[in-house]
Amino acid sequence: MTDSEFHQLADEIMETVEARLERHNTANEEARFDVDYEVNGGTMNLEFDNGSAIVISRQEPLHEVWLATKKGGYHFEKRGDRWICNRSGFDFWQLLEEACSQQAGIKVELTDA
């Protein structure tokens, strides 16, 4: 994968995170949660109402996307059409959904049905 391809894929994942957060809050009136998000350069910060944060960042030299949560840090590489943690083998969306649920204090649904 070229650096240009990686940047496009990393930007797409951050755009999809934003869209899925919006979709969750729109579709789940009783399970809404407050989260502010901002993308600056290659980093996306999600800040929850309780002050906790999740950081998603692209690591260009490695062609990886990193996820930092209260529970820990994860490094993802593109395998086929999925971003997979290179240590645990878990999917990006699964780990992000679990982290958002933990940090928001409610069940957050971000994976595609």
Whether the model clears a pTM of 0.75, i.e. scores above it, the answer is yes
Per CATH, the number for 3-104 is 3.30.920.10
Q: Tell whether the model's pLDDT for residue 32 goes beyond 70.
A: no
pLDDT in tens, 58-73: 999 999 999 999 989 9
Q: Which residues of 8-47 are buried (b: 16+ CB within 10 A; e: fewer)?
A: eebeebbeebeebbeebeeeeeeeebebebeeeebebebb
The domains of the chain are located at: 3-104
